[in-house]
Amino acid sequence: MISAIYDLALATGANRVVRGCRIEHVCGNPELGAEKDHAFGLRIIRTALWALQTPVAGPTLFDPEGLSAEGAEHAEMKAGGKSTQEA
């Protein structure tokens, strides 16, 4: 689950919660400008892919700011996409 209200999602028992930006723009931030907003949204989506591939024992928060470039590339490749270096 991608949520801007991640504390509530964790408290209700969601196993994998990806921290979103804002309630009205959970997968982006239009204040960043088009290019940076797109990159930020991709980072959130890649974090969600990483979360789906990660075994968890209970409610776990995945933070897009904490995802390394290698982790993002790994998540994208396992999901069948191209790495950003190949694109």
Express each pLDDT in 51-65 by its tens digit: 999 999 999 999 998
| CB-based contacts of 17, cutoff 8 Å, min separation 6 | 1, 2, 3, 6, 9, 10, 51, 59, 60, 61, 62
- pLDDT on residue 41: 93
Residue 62 pairs in a beta bridge with 18
Would you say how long the chain is, in residues? 87
Decide if 25 contacts 49 (C-beta within 8 A): no
Higher pLDDT, 77 or 35: 35
Across residues 11-37, what is the average pLDDT? 91
Whether the per-residue pLDDT at 16 is higher than 60: the answer is yes
Residue 66: the pLDDT is 74
Q: Check: CB of residue 17 under 8 Å from CB of residue 4.
A: no
Question: What pLDDT does residue 86 have?
Answer: 36
- Contact predicate 55/38, CB 8 Å: no
What is the value of pTM for the model shown?
Answer: 0.73
Provide the mean pLDDT of the chain.
81
